[in-house]
Chains A and B, each alone.
Chain A
C-alpha cells in the first residue's frame, strides 16, 4: 500500500512567534514526522497544541515577520524552508495542496466557483475553454455537488459550508497533488456532510496514491482514516503510533485521558466519562519539565525536573517518564 521512501520528512521543526513588547511563544517545538505516498498521517491534539502552525510552516504560509522557523521540511528531498520563493510556489501549486477548516478563507469571494476551478485546471492540466469547463463540472459532480453546471456560475457565498468545502477539495483534486494537507476539514460541518467529505478524502488517497496529512481534534475520524497518529501537546509530539496500537494501548497519560474523555456512540448509557483535570492552558514550559505535568495523574517528581525525552521503541514514540501500564489503560 505504501512505499518506503517518505515523500514528506519533517525534521525537528520549531516555530517561534515574537511580538514587540510581548512574550515569545514557542508554538511548535521540535516536531518530526514522515509521510509516505498513499499514507494518511494525522496530527491530533486540543486547541493551541500547534497543529495548524505545523501545517502552515510545512506549506511556507507563515508570515515572515516576527516568526522564526527552525528545522527541515524535506519534500522529495528538497528543504522547503530554504528553497527559493519561486520554486516553493511551483511545488505548492503543483505537488502540495491544502484544505482549511474555513473554506471561505481560501476561495475568492468575488469570483464564480467555476472560474476558480477552471483556473486550476488550466494551470495544472493544460485544459482550456469548453474542455476546462466540462472538466470542472465533472470534478464538482465527483465531489458530490448536485447540479454542477449551475453551481459553476455561483459565487462562494451562494454555497453552503459543506458545498464550499467540497468545491475546495475539487480544486485540490484538480491539481492532482502528491501531498494534501487538510486542517480540520470537517470541523465546521455536520456529521452527515463530514461523512461525505471523509469518503472523498479516502478515495483521493486510494485512487491517486497521494499522501494525506490530516489535522483534527476528533479521535473518531482518526480511528477510521489514518495509518499513523501523532498526538501533540503544547507544541510537541508526546506519542506516535499506528492507529491500531495507539487506540488499543495508549501509553501517554494525555492520550489515555483524551480517549477516556470522549463519549462513544456505542457505549452503554451511563458509562462514566473520565475527564482530564484542568485545562490545556495549564501548561508547564517544556524546558522546566513535562508540559502536561500540571494535569497529569501519573506525575512523578522527575517530571518537573526537566523535559522528558521522546523515546522510540517497537514502532512507537513516547515522551513520558511514567507511562500508563496495561491495567491503567483500561481505566483510562
Chain B
C-alpha cells in the first residue's frame, strides 16, 4: 500500500499506566501494559474494525491515536505528520481532523447543554464563523433528527437519538477520521441497526475514514473493510474482513468467532465451538512468550511459552492478512489440532431431535 493511501499509521505504540503504592511517598511498583507494541495502518476512506475482549486495550489504543492519552512509546502518523511533534495551535488544528464517538452517549453529553449548544460548541472552539444555527440544522438533518431537536436537552432523547447527537457532534468539524468506541453496544438491537446504517451512509456522503472499536464481531463483520484482533495489549491477527472471517488463522480469532452466537437454530445446532479456559490474564503481568499461551487450545511444548510471535504473512494468504502465531501453517493444515477438552461438539440433543 502506498503511503498516500494510508491516512493514519501507528508504529510500535505502547501505553503503560504506572501502578503506584505508598501513601506519603508514592513509589511506582509496576505498570499496566494496556497497549504494548501495536502497528496498524488505516487506509483512507476505509473502515478498520478493532475487536477483542474487554480490558485488552482497545479503548486505550483509540485514545492514544487521538492523543487523549499520551503514548509511552511509538509513533502515530496522520496524513504524513507525526502527531507527537505537534503542539499548541498545530495540534489544535490537527485535532479537527480526528474525532471520537463514544459508547455511552449520555455520559459524553452535558445534561445542562441543549443540542444547539452541544453542536455549535466545536464550531466556537475552533473559531469557525458563519451561521451556527443553520449549520446545526444541517447537522441534525444529516443524522436524521428534526430541526426542533436543537432546543431540547440530552435527557429528552432516547439512547439511539442521543447517539445520533454524538455522531452529529463528531462530524461538525468535517473531520477525516472518526474513532468510534463501541458506538452501538449500549443500544437496543433494533436501534443498533439504525446507527450502523447511519455511520455507513455518512461515510459514503462525507468520505470519512473510521476506526470502529467493538466487542461484537458480527457488527464489525458488517461494517469493517479490515479487521484487527487484539489480545492483551497486542494485535494477534489483521486481515481484510472477508479473509479474516472466511479463514481465521490465529487460535484466538478462531475461538472468538466460534463463541459468537448466530441467530439461526440450524447453524447453532451444527456448529463446533472452541471454548477457552479462564479469563484474560492481567495486563500488569502478561504471560511471557505468546501472550495467549495460557489459554491457547493449540499450545505447543516449544516456542509458545518463551518466544513472542510477531505479526507475519502466511503462504497462500493475501499479503494483507497477518497473524502472530508460531504455528499458523500447521494449525491451518490440520497437523496441529486443538486440545480435545476445548472442543464442544454440535448440540447432540437438539441436532438429533428434529422435533425440538
What is A's interface to B at a CB cutoff of 8 Å? 1, 46-47, 144, 146, 160, 162-163, 190-196, 198-199, 202, 206, 217-224, 227, 242-244, 247-248, 257-267, 269-271, 273-277, 279-281
Contact = CB atoms under 8 A, between A and B. Distances in A.
B70 interface: no
Contact of A223 (B54, B191, B268): B268
Interface stretch (B14-22, B132-140, B214-222): B214-222
A206 B193 contact: no
Contacts, number: 154
Contacts of A227: 356
B329 interface: no
Contacts of B196: 263, 273
Interface centre among B54, B190, B194, B349 (most CB of A within 10 A): B190
A37 B269 CA distance: 21
Contact of B267 (A163, A206, A266): A266
Contact of A263 (B190, B222, B344): B222
Contacts of B245: 265, 269
Contacts of A242: 356
A224 B255 contact: no
A199 B344 contact: yes
A199 B348 CA distance: 12
Contacts of B258: 195
A269 B242 contact: yes
Contact of B279 (A163, A258, A259, A266): A163
Interface string B207-242: 000000001111101100000000000000000011
A194 B259 contact: yes
Contacts of B94: none
A263 B218 contact: yes
Interface of B: 53-54, 158-161, 188-194, 196-197, 215-219, 221-222, 241-242, 245, 255-269, 273, 275-280, 344, 347, 349, 353, 356
A224 B268 contact: yes
B188 A46 contact: yes
Nearest to A44: B189
Given A199-B344, A220-B260, A266-B267, A258 B275 contact: no
Main DSSP-derived SS at the B contact region: helix
Given A220-B261, A224-B347, A281-B158, A261 B189 contact: yes
Contact of A202 (B158, B188, B261, B347): B347
B257 A265 contact: yes
A280 B349 contact: no
Given A259-B263, A263-B216, 13 more contacts: A1-B349, A1-B356, A146-B278, A194-B259, A199-B275, A206-B349, A217-B188, A224-B261, A262-B263, A263-B219, A265-B217, A265-B260, A277-B194
Contact of B158 (A206, A264, A279): A279
A222 B262 CA distance: 9
Interface centre among A198, A227, A263, A277 (most CB of B within 10 A): A263
A220 B216 CA distance: 12
13 contacts: A1-B353, A46-B188, A190-B53, A192-B255, A192-B276, A195-B276, A223-B261, A244-B265, A262-B189, A263-B221, A273-B222, A276-B190, A279-B191
A180 to B, nearest CB: 17
B4 to A, nearest CB: 25
Given A162-B279, A196-B275, A244 B356 contact: yes
A272 to B, nearest CB: 8
Contacts of A195: 258-259, 273, 275-276
Interface centre among A220, A223, A265, A266 (most CB of B within 10 A): A265
Given A191-B259, A223-B262, A224-B268, A275 B161 contact: no
Give the 7 A-B residue pairs with the shortest CB-CB distance, closest first. A220-B261, A275-B193, A224-B268, A263-B222, A219-B263, A195-B259, A276-B190
